[in-house]
Structure 1
Amino acid sequence: MHSFTTARLLIRPFIQEDEEPYCQLYADEKVMRNCGGVFTLAQAKKNFGNALKAIQRKKKTVLNWAIIERSSNQFIGFQALSWQKPTQTPKPSIDNINQVEIGIMLISKANGKQYPEEAMGALMEYAFNYQNVDRINAFYANKNLATKRFLKKLQFNFDPNLQDNTTDNSYQYFDKKQWQNSVIILLYEYSL
């Protein structure tokens, strides 16, 4: 598991000092309104402990990174890749491919600064280049319009036929081939 940077962010594996801001994030009603509601302090601490333990496991299940604003050196959120079978329907793919679910949570004061696009774009690059991922899946609450907007900016695919109309959730995905084509186009445009 590696750390990596963007123009404005340091994205690094969790360390023990991240527990307090992590727990504050899960206790924030505004942040958690689209994520199933706030957690108790005990629930948040347990989740954080499990996230730290997951870093040490040889078999990947879930990997979490803290998102640090470089200019202030402040924790502004975290993001994760999960190799667990999707708990939400529809099943993203019946193919035997290496796919992950991606997620991000940011503190309220980080909103409106395009940090989700920057952080998740970097994590997608890491997943495709260093974790040999074939597909990245994103599940989110239909009412979470901010997530829907930034997934669109990142060019995630929305297929109406893959939506589960029995839940309040939406699903989008991004494939490695799509990523490679984007990189090739960028390199070509840069060389002109």
Structure 2
Amino acid sequence: MHTFTTKRLIIRPLDQQDKRIYCELYTNAKTMMYISKPFNLQQAKNAFAIMLKKTQIKDKNFITWVITDRYNQTPLGIASLYKKYANELLAINEVGIMLLPSFIGKNYAKETLEATIMYSFNCLSLESINFRYNRNNAAMAALCKKFNAQNDPTSHRNSEHEIKNITNHAFLTYLNQHYANN
């Protein structure tokens, strides 16, 4: 598992020093609004211990990175990539992101997701990635639309979540269109 960067960010594997940011994210009602009920502090510490262990053993089924400011190393949030198995033959890769409330709305989510998707396609050789998000999360819906993510035909729908899929080809098309205009 590698560290990767953007213009403003360093996205690095979860480490012991990240317990505070991890717990702050999972116990924050605003951050958890579209995910689940906020954890209590002990639940967040337990979840951190599990994710740290998976990161340390380099479990490729679940990778968690910490998003930090490139210039002052302030932690802004976390990004995760995990593999779910729909059945014995079908593995589904999903990406997720959580930012502290003070960093929401500043394009950090877009920047992080672009870099995480590029890393996933280029370094992990994934062919497609899913976004699973609460239907009320307008910001994630807008990002999926911007990335040209499509409804995932392999995923089971429910009334609470939307599931969008982006392929390597579709993401390259997005990058070419987006950055050719900038």
Pick the TM interval, shorter chain: 0.7 to 0.9
Indicate conservation of the 8 Å contact 1:62/1:84, yes or no.
no
Paired position in structure 2 for 1:21: 21
Structure 2 counterpart of 1:174: 166
* Higher share in strand: 2
* 2:154 is equivalent to residue 154 of structure 1: no
Give how far 1:99 is off: 3.9
Question: TM-score, structure 2 length as denominator?
Answer: 0.87
Is the 2:84–2:92 contact (alpha carbons within 8 Å) kept by the matching residues of 1? no
Provide the C-alpha distance between the structure 1 equivalents of 2:128 and 2:75, rounded to a whole number of angstroms. Answer: 28
Aligned match of 1:91: none
Cα distance in 1 for residues equivalent to 2:58 and 2:73: 30
Aligned to 2:118: 125
Cα gap change, 1:24 to 1:177, in 2 (>3 Å): same
Query: Which segments of 5 or more consecutive residues in structure 1 lack a partner in the other structure?
Result: 87-93
How far apart are the structure 2 equivalents of 1:123 and 1:160?
Answer: 23
Letter of the structure 1 residue corresponding to residue 70 of structure 2: R
CA gap of 1:180–1:144, structure 2 versus 1, over 3 A, is closer
Residue segments in structure 2 that go unaligned for 5+ positions in a row: none
Offset, 1:119: 0.3
Deviation at 1:36, TM superposition (A): 0.9
User: Is the CA contact (8 Å cut-off) linking 2:62 and 2:81 kept in structure 1?
Assistant: yes
- Determine if contact 2:84/2:91 at 8 Å carries over to the other structure: no
1:110 matched to 2:100? The reply is no
Deviation at 1:25, TM superposition (A): 0.8
Q: Counterpart amino acid of 1:116?
A: A
Equivalent pairs, count: 180
Q: Which has the larger radius of gyration?
A: 1
Cα RMSD for the two superposed structures? 2.6
> In the alignment, does 2:100 pair up with 1:141?
no
**Cα separation, 1, equivalents of 2:44 and 2:70:** 25
Percent of residue pairs identical: 32
Q: Secondary structure at the match of 1:84?
A: strand
1:100 aligns with 2:93: yes
How far apart are residue 95 of structure 1 and its match?
Answer: 11
Aligned residue in 2 for 1:38: 38
Q: Distance in 2 between matches of 1:128 and 1:161?
A: 19
